[in-house]
Amino acid sequence: MGGRCSKFPFCWWQSHLKPSALQTSDLENEEKSSFMSFREFRWEELKSATNGFSSDNIVSEHGEKAPNVVYKGLLDNEKWIAVKRFNKSAWPDSRQFLDEAKTVGNLRSERLANLIGCCFEGDERLLVAEFMPNDTLAKHLFHWENQPMKWAMRLRVALYLAQALEYCSSKGRALYHDLNAYRVLFDQDGNPRLSCFGLMKNSRDGKSYSTNLAFTPPEYLRTGRVTQESVVYSFGTMLLDLLSGKHIPPSHALDLIRGKNFLMLMDSCLEGHFSNDDGTELVRLATRCLQYEARERPNAKSLVTALVSLQKETEVPSYVLLGIPQGNANCSQPIQLSPMGEACLRMDLTAIHEILEKAGYKDDEGIANELSFQVWTNQMQETLNSKKHGDAAFRAKDFTTAIDCYTQFIDGGTMVSPTVYARRCLSYLMSEMPNEALGDAMQAIVVSPEWPSAFYLQAASLFTLEMENDAHQSLKEATTLEAKRNRN
């Protein structure tokens, strides 16, 4: 979820989008069969999907330093997902976290970026949702590049968002935490969807507004709690966003409206593209949502009713109104890792051992044909014996002996073998000596700078040392070298 980035004539709607699509009570029925059912994920599964929670995969607006970061991931090499990773202090009670996630995970609507799973292992708390590839409402409204958002699309966003809130309310999830333009995401067809992450509490005490106080519901400032009416207030601030193309404080907007200067509020990019009646009606609706007294605000159902009648260009698909290609996935394909790469990413040292053992010395020009060499001196015979004893210990997973024997071979100085460095590197990793392992991986690279396995082992050593960024660089280098080798 996160990422880059209606009312149709009823005859068209009935034949293409099913007759209940405007009735939010039935929105969940349309696509239920196409959604993954909610499930619990393993930590390693999500780590692999996000390329080790790589910074390259971050799609949340606040980046690595945010308390809760959202990553793009590829599940089983076929399904894109959004993974929200909470900070260590959030959700100390794993049972409470699971119960809350399951409740939200039971929701299914085409107006939501639906929650499809969660993970809780140790201190880790993660949510998994459908990935929305076409950016946030904030991106399209405030930071657009090719074209400003069209009036008809703004009205559609308002309606779809109201329908999402009505659906959630009908399912007993009326509270939405910190509703804002970053919480509205666009799917591959350009349809706006409400992020399901905001249906979860952001912290153990439920206090959740992170925006500027100028945009915070008045009652929240008094009580510190989100109510159903608080969500409607936030919806009103988003109507102002849609009207103005800017994130302006409600107090300023209301002053303009009371002074009958609402046209000063309108986005200048919309001039000539909307009627005064439509603009007046949307301003009136925003004003009702922003009433100081919570009880005077409309509910989600009445918002839907009001917005249905305002819809324009209902026969035009959302991707056209949004100005994006149909089915735009906007997802760069992640690195396709080999079994060795996957093992390094998972830090599966046993799998790395099996791969190195199976590969033998076939990539090692200095050793591959050693048995056919004539033994010229006793020193060379001793060196080769050290390697053979080391290989036997390596196969038997006696890594202490392997380290000793490979060290004798290396110190003998008569032959240089990147494979021996690689095997001693893994033996060091198995013996919890990551600094020594990193040194051997680097020596293997010096001896054989085009050998992917050397870079894979460097990545494994760096992961062990928690040098994530450097590890991912090594992993990329190894993958590139392996792809180049496979092409040749």
Among 287, 322, 357, where does a domain finish? 322
Q: How far is CA 101 from CA 84, 201, 381, 459, in A?
A: 12, 10, 64, 34
- Per-residue pLDDT tens digits for 171-226: 999 999 889 999 999 999 999 999 999 998 654 444 556 556 778 899 888 888 88
Task: Report yes or no: 445 and 421 within 8 Å, Cβ to Cβ.
Answer: no
Between 215 and 23, the more confident residue is 215
How confident is residue 376, by pLDDT bands cut at 50, 70 and 90? very low
Alpha-helix residue ranges (DSSP H) falling in 81-201: 94-105, 137-142, 151-170
Between 216 and 399, the more confident residue is 399
Q: What is the CATH number of the domain that holds 462?
A: 1.25.40.10
What does the DSSP 8-state code read for residue 150?
P
Task: Report yes or no: 132 and 2 within 8 Å, Cβ to Cβ.
Answer: yes
Least-confidence region, from 35-39, 265-269, 367-371, 383-387:
367-371
Are 298 and 428 within one domain?
Answer: no
Are 318 and 423 within one domain?
Answer: no
Q: What is the CATH number of the domain that holds 204?
A: 1.10.510.10
Among 271, 288, 322, where does a domain finish? 322
| Catalytic option among 178, 363, 364, 391 | 178
Please state, in angstroms and rounded to a whole number, the distance separating the CA atoms of residues 341 and 486: 15
Are 49 and 136 within one domain?
Answer: yes
Please state, in angstroms and rounded to a whole number, the distance separating the CA atoms of residues 454 and 475: 10
Q: Is residue 333 part of a domain?
A: no
Is 178 considered catalytic here?
yes
Are 365 and 247 within one domain?
Answer: no
3-state secondary structure 340-394: HHHHHHHCCHHHHHHHHHHHCCCCCCCCCCHHHCCCCCHHHHHHHHHHHHHHHHH
Are 346 and 310 within one domain?
Answer: no
Among 260, 289, 322, where does a domain finish? 322
Are 315 and 344 within one domain?
Answer: no
Residue type (1 letter), 252: H
Task: Report yes or no: 437 and 425 within 8 Å, Cβ to Cβ.
Answer: yes
What is the reported pLDDT for 18? 33
How many domains does the structure of the chain reveal?
2
What's the rounded mean pLDDT across residues 78-100?
87
Q: Is residue 334 part of a domain?
A: no
Domain interval for residue 416: 339-487
What is the reported pLDDT for 394? 93
Are 103 and 129 within one domain?
Answer: yes
Least-confidence region, from 287-301, 379-393, 455-469:
379-393
Are 39 and 97 within one domain?
Answer: yes
What is the reported pLDDT for 55? 86
CA torsion angle 20 23 26 32 (round to 10): 70
- Per-residue pLDDT tens digits for 24-39: 444 554 444 345 689 9
Are 281 and 393 within one domain?
Answer: no
Please state, in angstroms and rounded to a whole number, the distance separating the CA atoms of residues 167 and 160: 10
Most confident of 188-192, 208-212, 271-275, 325-329: 188-192
Are 436 and 465 within one domain?
Answer: yes
Q: Is residue 433 part of a domain?
A: yes
How confident is residue 271, by pLDDT bands cut at 50, 70 and 90? confident
How confident is residue 457, by pLDDT bands cut at 50, 70 and 90? very high
Q: Is residue 238 part of a domain?
A: yes
Reply yes or no on whether the pLDDT at 92 is more than 50: yes
How many residues belong to the chain? 488
Please state, in angstroms and rounded to a whole number, the distance separating the CA atoms of residues 232 and 410: 71
Task: Report yes or no: 90 and 99 within 8 Å, Cβ to Cβ.
Answer: no
Q: Is residue 15 part of a domain?
A: yes
What is the reported pLDDT for 21? 35
